[in-house]
């Protein structure tokens, strides 16, 4: 608000001159833009210990060093232990070695962490550098400039013997510095030598070969009852013997990739279309395109194996290999126009000013989807008009500020729609105040919407730090200022996700699942996945991390919840036996028999709630209340955030919540207890409410493409671990019963059931795609409807009715 000033005016006797300063616009202090993620430091594996090849090298190198420098070592030991060395002789070295190995075994985790921290996981490279140094010194000695130490290195022989030693040292350094290349060279040499003597033969995949071929999960509906479908029989290893180890990583397993007829169904929108048109040449794609895609995928996965299959740091303690970071795509971030944001900041100030609200934009946080403008509320000034005479005797009016109060935050919040109009933005969310700052945050959608790849978040220091102490670390997305937001599922300890259709729930679930898959082996984490929609999570079928194949039947799902509640009780008893209070304490005491974390993922809670409201609510609440300590965590998503699905009890037990775009304020309140989610933009734009925060935080969720998750599934499926006994078999899950005792078959009958029946009778066709076209409904619903119609017609046939039409899915 400007205040007129008249320098010439003289104050009258009655008035006191007040020097009123015009409101000065402060410059925008901070402009944060989303920065490129910090360069990724290679993540250490679980033990960080190195391969057998590396260990063998170390032992040989140490032994050679000791034998070579026997005299000084002996002198040193004698000096160190005086009489002791004389008594024990060289045995003392063995004792020291034994102590070191014992410490390494008992303090495995600590040693691994230390090794990772100090980059000692690359000890062989350090050693290699040392050997190279010695070689250099030896070379100097050959030229007469190496001193007595140099002469010792070449054995005081400046002829062929000395040269031989130097060359030997250089070769040893080469092997230590790049063991993989050395190993490949040795193998290549071996192959070249043996090639002339080899008899060419066909190499069919034999039973028990290093890698198994897995049929595409979606093509196995008939195998729903089986655990980990595989085409080869897994041989149990005899008790007391070593379980089969994963294959040598240098061999790129061709059989891990399913052949070109395999198309794991894409998830998300693509998935639905894909599944819907499964019978119609796989989603209208040209066969060549499809082949190209599969070949690409195969190529990428092969490249990943070639590059990282032998990385020692990827080898986990239990023999599995963790996926390398390169398995995820790297998407460069969009740079946001700073000038554009400055201009919008001015527009916000002007728009506020035009409604009589003083405010200055003092901070701009540019994020991937929205830019947050931090507005410092100005003053509500009380102005008094003073009439006075100038020196010519004319009456002039002067305004004087007589008092001021801060602009109320509510006055800015109530202008959301007006600001949206002024900025020509679709929706504006106002965060008043920004937690921890005395500013009001105005979130304006960017003109260019960016997406956040999971890799960019996983490579940040925040995630890398969390990962070292939290096995269930998940990458959630990036905040309004482009900062990475990560969370620990174990601390959440259960997560409720809601949002309207197409808002990004399934992508978020995938990001959580893939995040866990990137850092945990099947013996550390098991999943139970419930997917009533049948297309979203089924691509994970056949993965070794699954405690049971993906459950798609609602009645089985309720049975699985009951099993999980039983498992929780069993775990509590097991823990009580060893006096452990939680899973971490138990696993520390348990030694080899560790308890895996169990993560239950439900893609559509509404379907379950509709099937057995009381049962499901009771079971979920019981699990949510008690399961954290025994390592069971729930991740539940729904597209119906209404009070009959997200009941008060469920809400109370799921303290961590994520809301994607919803259609109304009521829905937003139901999920978050506050408004705001109705203003979200969809496509991964979310409000994240962690347990310890009073207000939700706006993020752009991580995007995981179908290709990325497929690659991960291939990676895990391709390994040949020790055979795993199924924890939970689908056929063992009891079907849930309705309150009346009858098996639940009628509840899910669709409102379009009668229309679909009529269509089937008239046209003689029952297929999901047909119903989808005719009834203008989505694929999941059409597929369910087709099943119902088919069942009903089969029942009629049993009672002497018309024949069931041929299925043309």
Ligand X SMILES: Nc1ncnc2c1ncn2[C@@H]1O[C@H](COP(=O)(O)OP(=O)(O)OP(=O)(O)O)[C@@H](O)[C@H]1O
Size of the site for ligand X (CB under 6 A): 16
505 is in an annotated binding site: yes
Question: In whole angstroms, how close is the CB of 787 to ligand X at the nearest point?
Answer: 19
DSSP alpha helix (H) spans, 123-159: 123-142, 147-153
What letter does residue 736 receive in the DSSP assignment?
Answer: P
Rounded Cα distance between 625 and 617, Å, is 12
Stretch that binds ligand X, among 118-126, 167-175, 298-306, 502-510 (CB under 6 A): 502-510
Name the residue nearer to ligand X (CB basis): 139 or 681: 681
Q: What part of residues 429-468 is at the interface with ligand X (CB under 6 A)?
A: 451
Question: In whole angstroms, how close is the CB of 54 to ligand X at the nearest point?
Answer: 39
**Residue 52 in tokens:** 């057998």
Closest CA to 121 of 314, 291, 289, 270: 314
Question: In whole angstroms, how close is the CB of 532 to ligand X at the nearest point?
Answer: 11
Name the residue nearer to ligand X (CB basis): 449 or 470: 449
156 is in an annotated binding site: no
| Residue entry with tokens 């399961």 | 627
501 is in an annotated binding site: yes
Name the residue nearer to ligand X (CB basis): 335 or 350: 335
Rounded Cα distance between 138 and 62, Å, is 19
Name the residue nearer to ligand X (CB basis): 41 or 284: 284
**Residue 617 in tokens:** 């609510």
Query: How large is the angle between the packed helices 91-106 and 70-81, nearest 10 degrees?
Result: 80
450 is in an annotated binding site: no
Closest CA to 266 of 706, 640, 607: 706
Q: What part of residues 263-302 is at the interface with ligand X (CB under 6 A)?
A: 268-269
Stretch that binds ligand X, among 167-175, 292-300, 504-512, 577-585 (CB under 6 A): 504-512
Q: Do residues 779 and 772 lie in contact, with contact meaning Cβ atoms separated by under 8 Å?
A: yes
Of the residues 42, 215, 319, 502, which one makes contact with ligand X according to CB under 6 A: 502
Name the residue nearer to ligand X (CB basis): 128 or 504: 504
Name the residue nearer to ligand X (CB basis): 310 or 685: 685
503 is in an annotated binding site: yes
Question: In whole angstroms, how close is the CB of 792 to ligand X at the nearest point?
Answer: 27
Which residues pair with residue 360 across a beta bridge?
376
Of the residues 309, 378, 504, 641, which one makes contact with ligand X according to CB under 6 A: 504
Stretch that binds ligand X, among 128-136, 170-178, 318-326, 495-503 (CB under 6 A): 495-503
Q: What part of residues 666-705 is at the interface with ligand X (CB under 6 A)?
A: 683-684, 701, 703
Q: What part of residues 610-639 is at the interface with ligand X (CB under 6 A)?
A: 639
Question: In whole angstroms, how close is the CB of 329 to ligand X at the nearest point?
Answer: 13
Stretch that binds ligand X, among 71-79, 305-313, 496-504, 709-717 (CB under 6 A): 496-504
User: Cis (ω within 30 of 0) for the bond into 493?
Assistant: yes
Question: In whole angstroms, how close is the CB of 539 to ligand X at the nearest point?
Answer: 13
* Exposed/middle/buried for residue 336 (C-beta within 10 Å: 0-12, 13-18, 19+): buried
Question: In whole angstroms, how close is the CB of 639 to ligand X at the nearest point?
Answer: 4
Name the residue nearer to ligand X (CB basis): 69 or 501: 501
Question: In whole angstroms, how close is the CB of 533 to ligand X at the nearest point?
Answer: 7
Stretch that binds ligand X, among 29-37, 114-122, 355-363, 494-502 (CB under 6 A): 494-502
Question: In whole angstroms, how close is the CB of 605 to ligand X at the nearest point?
Answer: 12
| DSSP H or E stretch at residue 376 | strand 370-377
Stretch that binds ligand X, among 170-178, 419-427, 497-505, 524-532 (CB under 6 A): 497-505
Give one DSSP letter per residue of 386-397, joined into a string. Answer: EEEE-TTS-EEE
What letter does residue 82 receive in the DSSP assignment?
Answer: T
Rounded Cα distance between 693 and 683, Å, is 24
Stretch that binds ligand X, among 210-218, 322-330, 505-513, 711-719 (CB under 6 A): 505-513
Rounded Cα distance between 583 and 629, Å, is 6
Question: In whole angstroms, how close is the CB of 97 to ligand X at the nearest point?
Answer: 52
Which residues pair with residue 572 across a beta bridge?
none
Q: Do residues 629 and 581 lie in contact, with contact meaning Cβ atoms separated by under 8 Å?
A: yes
Rounded Cα distance between 795 and 797, Å, is 5
Of the residues 12, 343, 461, 501, which one makes contact with ligand X according to CB under 6 A: 501
Rounded Cα distance between 380 and 406, Å, is 6
User: Cis (ω within 30 of 0) for the bond into 537?
Assistant: no
Give one DSSP letter per residue of 271-337, joined into a string. Answer: HHHHHHTTTTHHHH--HHHHHHHHHHHHHHHHHHHHHHTT-GGGB-TTS-BPPPGGGS---PPPPP-
Q: Binding to ligand X by residue 505, rule CB under 6 A?
A: yes
Rounded Cα distance between 786 and 442, Å, is 48
Stretch that binds ligand X, among 122-130, 415-423, 482-490, 501-509 (CB under 6 A): 501-509
Rounded Cα distance between 556 and 560, Å, is 6
Name the residue nearer to ligand X (CB basis): 283 or 310: 283
Of the residues 217, 503, 656, 720, which one makes contact with ligand X according to CB under 6 A: 503
User: Which residue's Cβ has the minimum distance to ligand X?
Assistant: 684
Residue 381 in 3-state DSSP?
Answer: strand
Q: Which residues bind ligand X (CB under 6 A)?
A: 268-269, 451, 499, 501-507, 639, 683-684, 701, 703
Binding residues: 499-506
Binding residues for ATP: 499-506
């Amino acid at each position: 608000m400007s205040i007129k000033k008249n320098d010439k005016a003289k104050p009258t006797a009655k008035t006191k001159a007040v020097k009123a300063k015009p409101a000065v616009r402060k410059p925008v202090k901070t402009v944060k833009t989303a920065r490129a993620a910090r360069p990724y430091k290679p993540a250490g594996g679980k033990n960080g210990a190195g391969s057998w090849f590396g260990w063998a090298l170390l032992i040989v190198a140490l032994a050679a060093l000791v034998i070579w420098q026997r005299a000084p070592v002996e002198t040193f030991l004698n000096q160190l232990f005086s009489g002791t060395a004389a008594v024990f002789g060289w045995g003392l070295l063995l004792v020291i070695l034994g102590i070191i190995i014992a410490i390494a075994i008992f303090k495995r985790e600590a040693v691994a962490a230390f090794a990772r921290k100090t980059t000692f996981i690359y000890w062989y490279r350090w050693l290699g550098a040392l050997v190279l140094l010695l070689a250099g010194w030896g070379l100097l000695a050959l030229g007469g400039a190496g001193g007595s130490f140099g002469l010792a290195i070449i054995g005081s022989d400046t002829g062929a013997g000395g040269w031989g030693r130097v060359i030997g040292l250089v070769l040893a350094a080469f092997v230590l510095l790049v063991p993989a290349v050395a190993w490949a060279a040795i193998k290549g040499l071996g192959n070249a030598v043996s090639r002339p003597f080899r008899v060419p033969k066909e190499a069919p995949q034999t039973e028990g070969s290093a890698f198994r071929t897995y049929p595409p999960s979606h093509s196995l509906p008939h195998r729903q009852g089986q655990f980990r479908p595989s085409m080869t029989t897994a041989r149990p290893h005899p008790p007391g013997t070593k379980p089969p180890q994963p294959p040598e990583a240098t061999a790129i397993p061709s059989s891990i990739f399913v052949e070109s007829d395999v198309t794991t169904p894409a998830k998300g929108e693509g998935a639905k279309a894909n599944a819907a048109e499964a019978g119609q040449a796989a989603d209208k794609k040209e066969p060549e395109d499809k082949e190209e895609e599969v070949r690409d995928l195969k190529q990428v996965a092969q490249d990943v194996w070639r590059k990282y299959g032998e990385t020692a740091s990827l080898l986990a303690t239990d023999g599995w290999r963790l996926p390398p970071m390169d398995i995820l795509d790297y998407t460069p971030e969009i740079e946001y126009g700073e000038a554009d944001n400055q201009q919008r900041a001015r527009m916000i100030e002007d728009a506020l000013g035009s409604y009589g609200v003083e405010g200055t934009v003092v901070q701009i946080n540019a994020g991937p989807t929205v830019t947050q403008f931090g507005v410092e509320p100005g003053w509500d000034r009380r102005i008094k008009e003073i009439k006075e005479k100038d020196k010519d005797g004319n009456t002039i009016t002067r305004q004087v500020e007589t008092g001021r109060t801060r602009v109320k935050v509510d006055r800015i919040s109530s202008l959301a729609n007006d600001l949206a109009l002024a900025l020509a933005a679709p929706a504006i969310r106002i965060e008043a105040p920004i937690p921890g700052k005395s500013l009001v945050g105005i979130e304006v959608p960017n003109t260019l919407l960016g997406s956040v790849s999971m890799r960019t978040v996983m490579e940040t220091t925040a995630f890398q730090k969390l990962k070292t102490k939290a096995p269930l670390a998940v990458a959630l997305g990036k905040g309004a200022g482009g900062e990475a937001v990560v969370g620990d599922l174990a601390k959440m300890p259960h997560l409720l996700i809601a949002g309207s259709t197409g808002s990004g729930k399934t992508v978020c679930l995938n990001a959580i699942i893939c995040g866990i898959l990137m850092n945990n082996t099947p013996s550390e984490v098991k999943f139970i996945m419930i997917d009533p929609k049948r297309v979203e999570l089924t691509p994970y079928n056949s993965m070794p991390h699954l405690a049971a194949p993906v459950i798609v039947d609602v009645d089985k799902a309720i049975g699985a919840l009951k099993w999980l509640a039983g498992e929780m009780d069993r775990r509590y008893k097991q823990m009580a036996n060893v006096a452990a209070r939680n899973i971490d304490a138990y696993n520390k005491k348990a030694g080899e028999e560790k308890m895996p974390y169990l993560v239950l993922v439900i893609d559509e809670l509404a379907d379950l709630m509709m099937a057995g409201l009381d049962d499901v609510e009771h079971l979920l609440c019981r699990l949510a209340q008690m399961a954290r300590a025994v390592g069971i965590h729930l991740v539940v998503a729904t597209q119906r955030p209404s009070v009959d699905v997200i009941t008060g009890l469920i809400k109370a037990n799921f303290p961590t919540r994520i809301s994607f775009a919803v259609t109304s304020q009521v829905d937003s309140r139901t999920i978050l207890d506050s408004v705001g989610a109705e203003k979200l933009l969809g496509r991964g734009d979310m409000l994240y409410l962690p347990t310890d925060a009073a207000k939700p935080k706006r993020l752009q969720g991580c995007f995981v493409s179908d290709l990325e998750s497929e690659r991960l599934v291939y990676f895990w499926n391709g390994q040949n671990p020790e055979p795993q006994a199924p924890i939970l078999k689908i056929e063992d899950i009891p079907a849930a019963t309705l309150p009346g005792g009858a098996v639940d078959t009628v509840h899910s009958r669709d409102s379009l059931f009668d229309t679909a029946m009529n269509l089937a009778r008239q046209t003689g066709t029952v297929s999901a795609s047909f119903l989808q076209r005719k009834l203008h409904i989505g694929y999941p619903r059409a597929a369910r409807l087709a099943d119902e119609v088919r069942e009903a017609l089969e029942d009629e046939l049993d009672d002497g009715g018309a024949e069931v039409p041929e299925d043309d899915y």
